[in-house]
Structure 1
Amino acid sequence: MRPFRQPVVDQVVQVVGGLGEPRVQMLAARLIGQFASSTGASPVFMPTPGVLGSASARNSLMADSTVTSVMNVWPRLTVALVGIGSVEPSELLRMSGNVLGESDRAALAAAGAVGDICLRFFDADGAPVATGLDERVIGIAAEQLREVPRRVGVAGGERKYAAVRGAVLGGWVNVLVTDTTTAQRLVADRAA
């Protein structure tokens, strides 16, 4: 992305803690920083992991002033640019140290989850899926995310079709960036 000549964004705000191994977390921070720089914005980083081992550890971190200062920005968001994930991680995420273990993925599958946005999982119709994982995530809540006026989801491909469809049906996103095949299939499913 080429930098804009004039600032077009005030802040680029991280809405979920880092995921995976440190090398991957550094890449995510660098991407946020580069996006902020390209748009003339100030980056606001979430200085935590995305998922902790217990709800009590999450609650302790969520009470810390460095975390609450980021959370206090979330109600003022006007655009959320989010990836749409599937329950079964890609090979790249698996190699990167994806934080969801087999037991978490099994619980999500048993609850009917097909995808997630910001580690908030939903079923094929886009309805939120609640598991114990929710209590361990440091990130924007599903309700708060849905209050952001423009929610741009980015995903595509056969492997993610159910997740993309669920995100659209559930109103998790109201703008979708995807490939032609996925877009055509979504339109055909809606017409059927």
Structure 2
Amino acid sequence: MSTPIGLSEQMLCAYVALQHLQEGRPLIDIAEELELSRFKVGRMVRRARETGLIEVRLNMPEVIDTHLSRKVAQKFGLQSVIAVETSSDEPSQVRKDLARVGARVVRETVNEDDVIGLTSGRTIVDMCRVVGEFPNCEVVQLTGVATSTWNQGMQAILSLGVATNRIFPLHAPLVTTDAPAARAITAQPSIIRSLKRLDHISKAVLSIGGWPNSSLLATQLSEWNEMSQARSLGVVSELGTSLLTTNGAAVPHLTSRTIGISTEQLASVPHKIAIGGGHGKHDAVLAVLRSELVDVLITDIRTAEYACRLG
């Protein structure tokens, strides 16, 4: 138990703590002002916190578990993980909550000299709708769209580059029925123009697809009666055009039929942000963490906890 301190010492401890924690003054400056040693001033800051004179509170617009975030980042060697407490477990709400945090991260990360690449997943579309003010940088669509009904959502992504007309869209499907169809589409001048920009991406923002029920690509393959083969290869996740197994290995099952950034190209992007979560994406997010293909992950707390348990 701490020894009680008198009022005068309480006032001094409180002053020192406020100067250091609130005003940001270095301990050495406060020590010189009060003619005390830097070590004694440091002890006073600690005493103010231990006795409850000063409370340090997390005051963020989003509820983020900072301890869990750091734990996951260290476990998997990521630059940063953001574990968000979502307002519900309903998939569409999880997407919106993660998209809102993703929008803030992108605003704070992207500069005007960046070439930013975006996938066409639902979470990224939601993110683009709320991102607000955005740098006048080059915007490149990283992949085609997974379903024929999703083109309307692409307008949210492409609108980011409207101000400077520095937009490189991929008006193409993510996966084609066969390799000849993919070759025909990628031979079109407008598609060639966009695909060439994939080697110049400086920052990539990608949604995580969870197989079999939380991925538009998986849904499309199911409609084509092709899911059983992909599942037999152990696919649990998709990131861009990369299909990943539980251990994070890329499976080249659809390589000749997909349109967008390859696994090799993605690996060479300097800064990669992945967004995804919810119950249907637990294994998918874990696969992405193990893939070594991302630098930053934005997910929900329950998915982060799952990754910690099984990682």
* Structure-2-length-normalised TM-score: 0.53
Question: In structure 1, what residue type is equivalent to 2:132?
Answer: P
Q: 1:49 aligns to what?
A: 173
Give the alignment partner of residue 148 of structure 2, picking from 3, 21, 25: 21
Q: 1:89 aligns to what?
A: 213
Query: What SS is found at the alignment partner of 2:256?
Result: helix
Q: How many residues align?
A: 181
Which is higher, the Rg of structure 1 or of structure 2?
Answer: 2
Q: 1:61 aligns to what?
A: 185
Following the alignment from structure 2 to structure 1, what is the Cα–Cα distance between the partners of residues 165 and 131? 14
Higher relative contact order (CA 8 A, sep 6+): 1
Q: 1:8 aligns to what?
A: 135
Question: In structure 1, what residue type is equivalent to 2:146?
Answer: L
CA deviation after TM superposition for structure 1 residue 70, in Å: 0.3
Query: What SS is found at the alignment partner of 1:33?
Result: helix
Q: Structure 1: where are the runs of 5+ without partners?
A: none
Cα pair 2:208 2:276 within 8 Å, conserved: yes
RMSD: 2.4
Query: What SS is found at the alignment partner of 2:206?
Result: strand
Give the alignment partner of residue 179 of structure 1, picking from 297, 300, 304: 300
Cα pair 2:168 2:193 within 8 Å, conserved: no
Change in Cα spacing, 1:41 to 1:80, as seen in structure 2 (3 Å) is farther
Give the alignment partner of residue 283 of structure 2, picking from 149, 159, 162: 162
Give the alignment partner of residue 117 of structure 1, picking from 236, 239, 246: 239
What percent identity do the matched residue pairs reach?
24
- 1:78 equivalent in alignment to 2:202: yes
Cα pair 1:161 1:182 within 8 Å, conserved: yes
* Structure-1-length-normalised TM-score: 0.84
Query: What SS is found at the alignment partner of 2:180?
Result: helix
Which consecutive aligned stretches of 4+ in structure 1 deviate over 4 angstroms post-superposition?
Answer: none
Cα pair 2:237 2:285 within 8 Å, conserved: yes
Following the alignment from structure 2 to structure 1, what is the Cα–Cα distance between the partners of residues 135 and 260? 25
Question: In structure 2, what residue type is equivalent to 1:60?
Answer: A
Q: 1:34 aligns to what?
A: 159
